[in-house]
Chains A and B, each alone.
Chain A
């Protein structure tokens, strides 16, 4: 070895420097997720069955009572037939209940829960007072009349990190309009 000291010091600095960085990155991500989003939990069956027609909304966006109502009425699901066999219905309902907003400590889940009148069980995420309030300044032309968005239900049309459960403003990009700044 030509430069034993150099190699040794390089080794030392990289290990000493990189361990805490990697560690704190994870921590930061977790903290960030809690503060800007909902828990990014998922289930392959849920993704397959529900995610084939629309974004597989994270369970932390509605309380348990709402999910129960939705899952009990899949035959007429917002004007569509979304029937499932009873086994899949049970697995998906259990999953949604387990991670529902009323059982989550993530920021958006807590905010959604706090905005609801007691026992109110909306079946549209877009009709919870918190979500409505967060979007009330955005003009119709950017959502409803925007053919690439169409509806507030289409989270990931603008929230580029929606699938990861992250809903901060920095990651918003409205098709045809770009970044949103309020």
Chain B
């Protein structure tokens, strides 16, 4: 049995526990920003509906949704529809590096909303999706 020394406890804490706090903060900060931009409180159910909603787009991907690349279960790996590249699961419960940096979250919202929905997502839509994903 390994005896846990104080420095080990500190490093375990900083390696495992701190990133989780950081992720929590990131999401909460973003949610606050969305509210400041006029969104009501995020709603996970609404987020889930939007996640699964199909939109029209240009061929060859005439029907597209978040699931097109991220798979219908966000705990699974996704696959980029065009390039086939594997996409890590978005659910923080299985992928602790997901939803950690607000810069990345915003970047992907911008790119992917434009591709999937055809325009940038509203603050409300982003709040809903983020709450939904956070709980996965």
Which residues of A come within 8 Å of B, CB atoms? 52-55, 78-85, 148-151, 153-154, 157
Q: Could you name 28 residue pairs across A and B whose Cβ atoms are closer than 8 Å?
A: A52-B85, A52-B87, A53-B80, A53-B83, A53-B85, A54-B80, A54-B83, A55-B85, A78-B82, A79-B58, A79-B61, A79-B82, A80-B111, A80-B115, A81-B111, A81-B115, A83-B110, A83-B111, A84-B107, A85-B107, A148-B84, A150-B83, A150-B84, A151-B83, A153-B83, A154-B83, A154-B84, A157-B84
Contacts of A150 in B (CB 8 A): 83-84
Contacts of B112 in A (CB 8 A): 81
Report B-chain residues with C-beta under 8 Å of the C-beta of A153.
83
* B53 at the A interface (CB under 8 A): no
Q: Give the total number of A-B pairs whose CB atoms are below 8 A apart.
A: 37
List chain A residues, Cβ under 8 A from B107. Answer: 84-85
Cross-chain contact A54 with B85 (CB below 8 angstroms): yes
- Residues of B contacting A149 in the complex (Cβ-Cβ under 8 angstroms): 84
Report the minimal beta-carbon distance from B60 to chain A, rounded to whole angstroms. 9
CA A76 to CA B33, docked complex, whole Å: 28
Chain B contact residues, CB within 8 Å of chain A: 58, 61, 80, 82-85, 87, 107, 110-112, 114-115
Complex contacts, A80 vs chain B, CB 8 Å = 82, 111, 115
Contacts of A84 in B (CB 8 A): 107
Q: How far is the CA of A54 from the CA of B111 in the complex (A)?
A: 15
Bound-state CA distance A17–B85 (Å) is: 45
Q: Which of A52, A55, A80, A149 has the most C-beta atoms of chain B within 10 angstroms of its own C-beta? A: A80
Residues of A within 8 A of B85 (CB): 52-55
A-B CB proximity, top 3 nearest: A54-B83, A81-B114, A81-B111
List chain B residues, Cβ under 8 A from A79. 58, 61, 82
Closest to B61 in A: A79
Residues of B within 8 A of A157 (CB): 84
Distance to closest chain A CB from B78 (angstroms): 11
Q: A53-B83, A79-B58, A150-B83 are in contact. List 17 more A-B contacts (CB 8 A).
A: A52-B87, A54-B80, A54-B83, A54-B85, A55-B85, A78-B82, A80-B82, A80-B111, A80-B115, A81-B111, A82-B111, A83-B110, A83-B111, A84-B107, A149-B84, A151-B83, A154-B83
B115–chain A nearest beta-carbon distance, Å = 5
Residues of B within 8 A of A52 (CB): 85, 87
- Chain B residues, CB < 8 A from A54: 80, 83, 85
